[in-house]
Amino acid sequence: MQGQHAVTILTMPRSLGTVACAMLGQHPQMYGILETRLYEVEPMEEWWNFERKHGKTPGGLLRDVAEIIFGDQSERTVERTKRWLWRRRTWPTVNILQALASCVSPLRLVEKNPIPPATDQSIQDSLERRIRCFPQARFLWLVRCPFCYGISLLEMLEFLKKGRHYPLVNQRPGRTKHHKTRQPNQDPQLSWYRVNKNIMAFLGNLPEERHRRIRGEDLLADPDKHLCEIARWLNLRSDLRAIEEMKHPERSPFACMGPPNALGGGDGKFFSSPALRRPNPHNHQKLRVRAEDVLRNPDEACERTNRIALRLCEAFHAASPNFVGAVHQTMSDQSNPRYKTFDPVAPANMVPFVHFFVHRRDFLSAF
């Protein structure tokens, strides 16, 4: 089956997956789709209940089926899609993805479903469903700088709190809360570590030629180089014309919010302005946190995350000036001795960096 050779992007939320999938999907021999959330449950009937329970609109899958099966993404075709999916509610969820892959054949399906940072067991189950769905798939592991991931996640939570999704925010913090501080605080290191640890273990059981790791920031900063390498790894065309097509994710049929009855299916920021942009560097020298948080002995989670980040991203600091550094050894703000600032230094001198994602609302205001 052609779909067995699909390309599966392994990543987590807020990790540049939507734009990466759209870029690959513009290759003349590939077809990128939106998030379907089909790997989180087994039968389609559970998928319907799962979406309703978590208050999410299943816009991604509805738009995928409407475009691929019915030819466009209109309110009318979305209603037809709902009936089409309901008639297949007894199917295993992976069969729906296989059907979509068959429909776009001979193009290779490119699919990206962010892995929620829930429990280790749920992450492992989700990864196993991916390989059962496409036994010969190639896996592209998309890793985002953990600091930038943390900032993006906290910004999203702040946005949700201000809108109609406020009740849903309370479902998320338990996955990312740091319970060893005086008051439990948002700590994105926990979810970043949990998901990437399980992806690493999962890919360790596969032949090396079937998986590849790339930093999301590198892909956006130098697309010509990395898109060419990915195309060659997939044994696809790597000529200038093919690479140029992939540099225009805005040409994807899914590069928009979609019809009113099937909104979303990925990163709303990309949908509102779908174009390839270089990542914006954060100026870590402006970031300030309370000294009492920094000087506290880092807990085991911080140390583990630091180790896995260095192993995953190798010399991430050398490749990206955005990488968070260590605490400057002198007080930079003599008028307020409760604070220190961040100053980028070599990785060998870093203290566990994700301890600094912390935990204060005014932390976001520094960006």
Among 67-71, 217-221, 336-340, the least confident range? 336-340
Quick count: other Cβ atoms within 10 Å of Cβ 300?
9
Tell me what pLDDT residue 262 has.
Answer: 92
∠ CA 70-35-217 to the nearest 5 degrees? 130
Angle between helices 44-53 and 93-104 (to 10 degrees): 100
| Reported confidence tier of residue 164, pLDDT bands at 50, 70, 90 | low
Dihedral angle sign, alpha carbons of residues 102, 104, 106, 107: negative
Compute the average pLDDT of residues 142-171.
Answer: 68
Query: Could you tell me which CATH class the domain 2-144+207-272 is placed in?
Result: alpha beta
Arithmetic mean of pLDDT over the chain: 75
Question: pLDDT: is 203 or 352 the higher one?
Answer: 203
Give dist(CA 315, CA 319) in Å, integer: 6
Backbone angles phi, psi at 302, to 5 degrees: -65, -45
Among 164-178, 282-296, 297-311, 335-349, the least confident range? 335-349
Among 79-93, 157-171, 236-250, the least confident range? 157-171
Compute the average pLDDT of residues 155-183.
Answer: 53
Q: What is the pLDDT of residues 344-358, one digit of tens each?
A: 333 332 333 333 333
| Reported confidence tier of residue 104, pLDDT bands at 50, 70, 90 | very high
In this structure, what token pair is assigned to residue 6? 């699909």
| Reported confidence tier of residue 47, pLDDT bands at 50, 70, 90 | confident
Compute the average pLDDT of residues 291-300.
Answer: 41
Give dist(CA 9, CA 68) in Å, integer: 20
Q: Return the domain boundaries, the chain.
A: 2-144+207-272, 284-364
Nearest to 217 by CA among 353, 16, 11, 81: 16
DSSP string, 87-120: TTTTSBHHHHHHHHHHHHTTSEEEEE-------H
Give dist(CA 342, CA 12) in Å, integer: 26
Compute the average pLDDT of residues 337-348.
Answer: 33
Give dist(CA 201, CA 203) in Å, integer: 6
Q: What is the pLDDT of residues 57-98, one digit of tens each?
A: 678 999 999 999 999 999 999 999 999 999 999 999 999 999
CA atoms within 13 A on the CB side of 149: 29
Per-residue pLDDT for 21 more than 90? Answer: yes
DSSP string, 282-349: P-GGG-EEEHHHHHSPP-HHHHHHHHHHHHHHSSHHHH-TTS--EEPSS-S-TT-TTEEEEE---GGG
Point out which residues pair with 112 in neighbouring strands: 9
Give dist(CA 195, CA 315) in Å, integer: 20
